[in-house]
Each structure stands twice: as structure tokens, then as C-alpha cells.
Amino acid sequence: MGETAQAPDVLAPMKALADAIATVPGVLGTRLERDEVVADVQRDALVQVMLTLRDDPRFAFEQVMDICGVDWPERPERFDVVYNLLSVSLNQRARVIVTTDENAPVPSVHLIWPAATWWEREAWDLFGVSFSDQPDMRRILTDYGFEGHPMRKDFPLTGYVEVRYDEDRKAVVYEPVKLTQDWRSFDFMSPWEGMTTLPGDEKVHAGRLADIKANKLPTPTDPPKS
């Protein structure tokens, strides 16, 4: 009998992709993490690397699906900026990571993928990562005038204000955040035991009282008319 054929290595295409990306100038290294291709890229070379990943037929990453941040407060360059790329034509994905600190901007890729503007604004809003050459660097999730960046791991959880509309003052007011719990009364009575009325009965009783007052129905004490 012949030898049993071995199952093909399902990771081979991803290893080949990682090796190919590693040859691009500006890529510091590649690896596989949980069966995904991850490339660490030099920050100043990001735009050129991304152009290569988009235009080189070996990669053909037509879309940036997401840009997000990760905060590592103990590192000198505490932020990872993570780009998740998708090639529809080749059915492959890659993750590109660059690092930065609180001051050094990351080159914007909005001219390569226009959708990146949304994600870069979100990373700025939540982490405080700035992007050079990004013309629309505005907050996107927090309120106007918000101070700080809420996804940082050193972001304080108290001492900030909330915005709400005050019905009594007829105005928008800023007040310290109050995490209050409304008092609630819990009724653990079984719906099949001891229930004397059902939801909706009050409407029936109200309708009967209205008919009695309008002399459409006899009062309960009146004898029936012969």
C-alpha cells in the first residue's frame, strides 16, 4: 500500500505572504499570530509601505477595514496603531502595526484609502494619537469640548462632567457625572398564584365607571329593571 497523503499545510499561504511582506522596505519584521499575518512597520515609512501593499499585485490590499489603537502605558512609545487590511481579489488579510508616543504623529493614509479618515479620527478621539496630513482631525465619538481621551489606560474614571438637557431650566447643563441607581421594587410573586387582577383590568374597570356615570349601565346596587 502506498503512503498516506499528508494534509496540506493550511498555513503555507500565510507564511508565504508574511515572507513576501518582510521584503518590503520599511517593514521591521513579520510573524503569524493566531493564524494571522502581522507586520511591524517603521512609522516614517508607513505611507510607502501601505502604497506597496495596495499596488503590488502580490498583495493587492484594496481595503483598510479598520484602524484602531492599543495603549501600553509602560512603554516609551506607548501606543500601537493597528491597520487591518483586506485583499478582496486575492482573499487574504494582513495586520500592520506602527508604534508612537503621545507627541509623535503617525502619517495619515487617507489618500491611499479615503475611508481611513473615519478610523483616524476615532483613534485620535479615543487614544489621542495624532495623524500628520489628516485635514479632518476632529473628535468623532465624545462630546464637544470633551477633555482627555477615554480609551487610555490611565484615563480617570471620576471628576468629569456630563451633558444633559434640564427640563426645569429649559437648557443644556453641564454637571459632574453621577452614577446613581434608581430604587426598584421587585415583586417575586408567581403570576399563577395569588394574582387577583391581570394587566389591563384597570382599563376595563375605568370604562365601566365611565359608562355608569353616563347612565349607560346600572350601578351595582341598583336592582335589575323588569
Q: What is the CATH number of the domain that holds 68?
A: 3.30.460.80
Tens-place pLDDT, residues 5-40 = 444 577 899 999 999 999 999 999 999 998 899 999
**Nine-digit cell at 192?**
399563577
With respect to residue 57, please indicate whether it lies within any of the assigned structural domains.
yes
With respect to residue 139, please indicate whether it lies within any of the assigned structural domains.
yes
Tens-place pLDDT, residues 44-59 = 999 999 999 999 999 9
Identify which has the larger pLDDT, 190 or 53: 53
With respect to residue 40, please indicate whether it lies within any of the assigned structural domains.
yes
With respect to residue 196, please indicate whether it lies within any of the assigned structural domains.
no
Tens-place pLDDT, residues 130-169 = 999 999 999 999 887 788 899 999 887 766 677 788 899 9
- In angstroms, the Cα distances linking 72 to 32, 102, 152 are 21, 12, 9
pLDDT at 189 over 90: no
pLDDT of residue 175: 83
Residue 212, number of CB atoms within 10 A of its CB: 14
With respect to residue 53, please indicate whether it lies within any of the assigned structural domains.
yes
Domain count for the chain, please give it. Answer: 1
Alpha helices, DSSP H, located in the chain? 12-22, 46-55, 116-127, 201-213
Mean pLDDT of 76-100: 97
With respect to residue 128, please indicate whether it lies within any of the assigned structural domains.
yes
Identify which has the larger pLDDT, 195 or 83: 83
Expressed as residue numbers, the domain containing 68 is 12-176
With respect to residue 137, please indicate whether it lies within any of the assigned structural domains.
yes
CA distance 224 to 226: 6
With respect to residue 70, please indicate whether it lies within any of the assigned structural domains.
yes
Residue 177, number of CB atoms within 10 A of its CB: 10
pLDDT at 123 over 50: yes
